[in-house]
Amino acid sequence: MDTMEIIVIIGGVGLIALTLWYFFGEREKVSAETSESGVQEIKVTVKGGYSPDVIVVKKDIPVRLNFYRDETSSCSEQVVFGDFGIARDLPAFKTTPIEFTPEKTGEFTFACGMNMLRGKLIVEA
Amino acid sequence: MTTTKTIDPVCGMEINPDTAAGQSEFKGETYYFCSPSCKEKFDAAPDKFIKQQEIMAENTTNGANKGLTTKQATDGSHNDHSLSNGTGQRVDLPITGMTCAACANRIEKQLKWQSGVDACSVNFATAKATVNYNPEKTNVAELIKTVKDTGYDTAGTATAEFVVDDSARPSGSGTQLENHLSKQRGVTKANFNLATMKVSVEYLPNNADLKQIRASIEDFGYKVREVSGNAEDAEDSLEHAHAEEYAELKRKFWIAAILSLPVLVIAMSHGSIEILNFAGVNWLQLILTVPVVFYCGAQFYRGAWAAFRHRAADMNTLIAVGTGTAFIYSVAATVFPSFFMSATHGSMPGMNDMPAHLSVPVYFEAASVIIALILLGKMLEARAKGQTGAAIKKLVGLQAKTARVIRDGKEIEIETEEVVPGDIVMVRPGEKIPVDGILVEGLSAIDESMLTGESIPVEKKTGDEIFGATINKTGAFSFKATKVGKDTALQQIVKLVQDAQGSKPPIAKLADTISGIFTPIVISIAIATFVIWFVAASPEVRFTMALVNFVSVLIIACPCTLGLATPTAIMVGTGRGAENGILIKGGDSLETAHKLNTIVLDKTGTITKGEPELTDVISSSGWSENDFLKIVASAEKQSEHPLAAAIVRGAETRNLAFEKVENFNALEGRGIEAKVSGKDLLLGNLRLMNERKIELNDADNTVEKLAGEGKTPMFAAIDGKFAGIVAVADTIKPESKEAIQALQNLGLEVVMMTGDNKRTAEAVAAQVGIKRVLAEVLPEGKSGEIKRLQAERKIVGMVGDGINDAPALAQADVGIAIGTGTDVAIEASDITLIKGDLRGVVTAIALSKATIRSVKQNLFWAFIYNVIGIPIAAGLLYPLTGWLLAPIIASAAMSLSSVSVVANSLRLRSFGAPKAN
């Protein structure tokens, strides 16, 4: 085993660790704000992913997620909230509001139609 | 008790306290009301009405009240033209909550007192206030406020949203445009959001329309870019985007294909083609590959970068890392060949005198051919995916663009979006019906096949429900709009299907979990592959072998296939269902439906027509069948009993004329008696015959037989002598037997449930081939019976006709509502059949089986493909067989895999209902 091989092994293991940490690590959470009309509202920009992609809302208060799709890439043309039975087409460069009232607490994923782009909705009591 | 007349404080009508509809105490005074609704209004806010009453009382004492009102109203209508042509404006406000003419007076007075109102007349009959006002001093919103303060409401405002462009004028405050719009006739509210550049306008559709409002926005210097808020636009723009995407993919693919072909030839020749062995060949490949990577493949790198910033990895990441690595290495090897010579072959003397282009391998073809192939795959996939949503597109496209409605007594053509509930809509033969409603005048046959799948036109008469998007075939008619926009049956169906298409059956959960972690794992495997090859391979080839296998692993992995497996099948399956009038609520309903082994059918309305029909006419000797029926039916025409109606209909279908009837008498619990054309008729049950001592000869046997067939027989005696029997029964739908046979062929146990007595129920069951009968079940016991079946470890589907069966539908594993499009039924059931045909149940279950089968096939192939493909690409078979996967082959396999999954789902488009035999 020469030096080059050792460098490659160490580098490879480090790179794998970095990959796993970067993609599976803890994300930043963003809470939806409650407006005057009593709706928890937040704007979600859709461009190669959802920003923010971890959204915290409160239980039993209506939620309005305004999805603004800032691209034409077909990957993001639909957003699906499987646990809430919601699927909406998102026209490019337009805001599509999605409204529902979360009735149970927990973590729910939302994703694009092909389940490639993913986000998490955390419902707190 | 006083006899003096008093005034209703709410509507101002003069009433007599003795005959008042109600009274209330307030601050020690007693007030009387003309109607319960006036009392209700008073009780809600007594203060308001006391004050009004004081003013009104003053006016009454002045003696000006009634005369003034009438006079002004007349004046008002005379002034109409001069007012609307001058400074004034006229508006018609639809008023709700008026109970009497006095209410109209009250509103009229309140409006007249408002500053800015020149004249006003309120018509109780048409429920409309016609107001002439000065737009400089007041506006419609204030008029409406006055009406509301008076205790009534206005009806039927519509809202529209305009996206505007202020490039033509300096941007500033939005209030100016709001004020401008508020002054327009018929506009009740305008709101301009500068941040989104959206103007939302609430208006009275009777007085303004979208075109006018748009024109006034444009008058003010704004450009209206779009009128939003309707589903069709969104769908259109999506379709447009798809077409554009396809065209772009196609262009990029051809450029990539043409440029990568020579690169591929050079790479594959491996120096064996003499003419390609010139010194700068690597540079030529570089020049050919640059546009492919930087133009054709740019979308993958952009997508990968966007995902990376979100700490996400997807398909683009794999393609970008794979092709990017191959490209960067090849560029480096071309520009600095000596560096790679020393790195790979440095320790091997004698190699240095070889020509540079042969000693340092480059992999430009890995970058450019892969990009070309993936673009081709994406192109095919885009086209196939477009077809998966075709059913929805077809549904949305069904909506009529315009409608002809009566406004201000005139027939005008408006956009369908502008129709409001209450509008009277005119429809000519051959026209498409714009919205849902109730037929008020005319008669026609309507083709509802687009909603129900039923090809035979449906007869419609006054009072029948009319659905938007259906086509009027024969007659002209008018109907009152009841549901518009998102509330129409068509839009409900579209929404239901859209939601169902996005939902996933539990079977897809595993695929979802895996695809969520798939890409980072594959990247890790690829890195590991690189490391292992670098260490294991001989030093001369270790770097290139490691690199090629690293790229192959990244390229062959296809998370798209996993991601596409379920949704494409569900989309095509639910879409195919919708085309046949079958609405499936979601992926889980589909999955459970395919597992059903027992199906419970409600008898009345499901297996049978649900309304009695004349089935047998047996006349005794001396009477012809038709003469006998003529007399019986003539008498029954006077009766209101449902069984009587069946006999009358039966006579009508035989084209019998009815005769004159005298002395008709209904005998409670027995039957009827009457004199028909001078003959005395007795018609009824056995008890009636016995009481009147009618000799029944041998009719008992016949009756026994009829009852055994589930029919209800009635005896008739004419002039005191037994004359015959008529029998009515709830007849079996013609298609029921075939459908039940088909369900049994699908391996389901069919159970009939009914409230009827055992004998009748079994008679019906025997006719349609059902072996298990649950008879004498009370309506509230239905869900209990379903529970009992479930306790037998059966997976139970329940078919019923909606609201009455709701608890049983909900209790069943799969509730199937049949023959209805109402919201309640759709809500309670998992599957809704718009057409009242039991064969739809067969189609629905067979479709669910076919769809879930497709999902399973897709998932299987997607898993197997990745599970086998990735290890081969990593070179796992190399030590055994010497097999390695070239990156180009990997990319071709990858492109094919996702296309094949979509193509497999598309096979469902040709799904046909199974036949009984």
Q: Taking 70 as the threshold, does the pLDDT of residue B64 lie above it?
A: no
Rounded-to-integer distance, Cα B829 and Cα B803, Å: 10
- Mean pLDDT throughout B550-566? 84
pLDDT for res B57: 45
What was the ipTM of the complex prediction? Answer: 0.72
Phi, psi of B522 (to 5 degrees): -65, -40
Interface of A with B in 102-121 (CB under 8 A): 109, 111, 113-118
Q: Taking 90 as the threshold, does the pLDDT of residue A14 lie above it?
A: yes
Query: A-chain residues within 8 Å CB-CB of B299?
Result: 73
Question: Would you call B602 a catalytic residue per the annotation?
Answer: yes
Q: Which amino acid makes up residue B684?
A: G
- Decide if B238 and A77 are in contact by the 8 Å CB cutoff: yes
Q: Check CB contact of A101 with chain B, cutoff 8 Å.
A: no
Around B1, how many Cα atoms within 13 Å sit in the side-chain half-sphere? Answer: 7
Give per-residue pLDDT as tens, B250-260.
Answer: 999 999 999 99
Confidence of residue B797 (pLDDT cuts 50, 70, 90): very high
Q: Taking 70 as the threshold, does the pLDDT of residue B81 lie above it?
A: no
pLDDT for res B56: 45
Taking CA atoms, what residue in A is nearest to B303? A48
Q: Å from B262 to nearest chain A CA?
A: 30
Catalytic residue among B602, B813, B830, B837: B602
Around B526, how many Cα atoms within 13 Å sit in the side-chain half-sphere? Answer: 27
Total Cβ atoms within 10 A of residue B668: 5
Rounded-to-integer distance, Cα B614 and Cα B643, Å: 8
Which residue out of B314, B396, B542, B572 would a mutagenesis test of the A interface target, given it has the greatest number of A Cβ atoms within 10 Å?
B314
Give per-residue pLDDT as tens, B9-37.
Answer: 666 666 777 777 777 777 777 777 777 77
Interface of B with A in 73-92 (CB under 8 A): none
Q: Taking 90 as the threshold, does the pLDDT of residue B853 lie above it?
A: yes
Do B333 and B282 contact (CB within 8 A), yes or no? yes
Which residue out of B531, B561, B590 would a mutagenesis test of the A interface target, given it has the greatest number of A Cβ atoms within 10 Å?
B531
Do B567 and B504 contact (CB within 8 A), yes or no? yes
Do B433 and B469 contact (CB within 8 A), yes or no? yes
Query: B-chain residues within 8 Å CB-CB of A114?
Result: 560, 563-564, 567
- Mean pLDDT throughout B691-696? 84
pLDDT for res B795: 93
Do B527 and A16 contact (CB within 8 A), yes or no? yes
Taking CA atoms, what residue in B is nearest to A71? B303
Query: A-chain residues within 8 Å CB-CB of B240?
Result: none
| Secondary structure of B808-842 as H, E, C letters | HHHHCCEEEEECCCCHHHHHHCCEEECCCCCHHHH
Q: Taking 80 as the threshold, does the pLDDT of residue B318 lie above it?
A: yes
Interface of B with A in 307-336 (CB under 8 A): 307, 309-316
pLDDT for res B343: 47
- Decide if B382 and A19 are in contact by the 8 Å CB cutoff: no
Tokens linked to B248: 């772009």
Confidence of residue B796 (pLDDT cuts 50, 70, 90): very high
- The β-bridge partners of B721 are B718
- Mean pLDDT throughout B558-565? 79
Q: Taking 70 as the threshold, does the pLDDT of residue B80 lie above it?
A: no
* Distances from the Cα of B106 to the Cα of B97, B100, B126, B777, angstroms: 12, 10, 16, 56
More confident residue, B554 or B155: B554
Considering B149-163, B405-419, B695-709, B868-882, the range whose residues carry the highest mean pLDDT is B868-882
Q: Taking 70 as the threshold, does the pLDDT of residue B297 lie above it?
A: yes
Total Cβ atoms within 10 A of residue A46: 24
Nearest to A91 among B238, B305, B382 (CB): B238
Would you call B687 helix, strand, or coil by DSSP? helix
Place of tokens 């700490």: B311
Interface of A with B in 55-94 (CB under 8 A): 71-75, 77-78, 80, 82, 85-89, 91-92, 94
DSSP-derived secondary structure for B594-618? HH--EEEEEIIIIIEEEEEEEEEEE
Give per-residue pLDDT as tens, B386-442.
Answer: 777 777 777 777 888 888 888 878 888 888 888 888 889 999 888 889 999 999 988
Kindly tell me the sign of the dihedral angle through the C-alpha atoms of B616, B621, B624, B626.
negative
pLDDT for res B77: 35
Which residue out of B165, B245, B310 would a mutagenesis test of the A interface target, given it has the greatest number of A Cβ atoms within 10 Å?
B310
Would you call B65 helix, strand, or coil by DSSP? helix
Taking CA atoms, what residue in A is nearest to B526? A16
Confidence of residue B69 (pLDDT cuts 50, 70, 90): very low
Instruction: Give me chain B's average pLDDT, please.
Output: 79
pLDDT for res B225: 66
- Mean pLDDT throughout B812-827? 73
pLDDT for res B305: 84
Q: Check CB contact of B564 with chain A, cutoff 8 Å.
A: yes
Model pTM? 0.65
Would you call B794 helix, strand, or coil by DSSP? coil
Query: A-chain residues within 8 Å CB-CB of B245?
Result: 72, 74
Of B884, B888, B861, nearest to B874 (Cα)?
A: B884
Interface of A with B in 28-47 (CB under 8 A): 47
Size of interface A-B (CB pairs under 8 A): 137
Q: Check CB contact of A48 with chain B, cutoff 8 Å.
A: yes
- Mean pLDDT throughout B337-343? 65
Of B453, B601, B580, nearest to B850 (Cα)?
A: B580
DSSP-derived secondary structure for B344-393? HHTT-TT-TTS-HHHHS---HHHHHHHHHHHHHHHHHHHHHHHHHTHHHH
Query: B-chain residues within 8 Å CB-CB of A89?
Result: 234-235, 238, 498
Taking CA atoms, what residue in B is nearest to A79? B502
The share of chain B scoring above pLDDT 90, in percent, equals 13
Q: Taking 50 as the threshold, does the pLDDT of residue B353 lie above it?
A: no
- Decide if B528 and A88 are in contact by the 8 Å CB cutoff: no
Which residue out of A18, A74, A88, A95 would a mutagenesis test of the B interface target, given it has the greatest number of B Cβ atoms within 10 Å?
A74
Question: Per mean pLDDT, which range of A98-107, B76-85, B609-618 is the poorest?
Answer: B76-85
Do B126 and B221 contact (CB within 8 A), yes or no? no
Taking CA atoms, what residue in B is nearest to A80? B502
DSSP B401: S
Instruction: Give me chain A's average pLDDT, please.
Output: 84
Nearest to B245 among A27, A51, A74 (CB): A74
Total Cβ atoms within 10 A of residue B30: 12
Give per-residue pLDDT as tens, B192-201.
Answer: 776 666 777 7
- Decide if A115 and B563 are in contact by the 8 Å CB cutoff: yes
- Decide if B312 and A117 are in contact by the 8 Å CB cutoff: yes
Rounded-to-integer distance, Cα B907 and Cα B854, Å: 9
Phi, psi of B206 (to 5 degrees): -75, -20
- Decide if B314 and A75 are in contact by the 8 Å CB cutoff: yes
pLDDT for res B348: 39
Query: Distance of alpha carbon B802 from its chain centroid, rounded?
Result: 18
Q: Taking 80 as the threshold, does the pLDDT of residue B681 lie above it?
A: yes
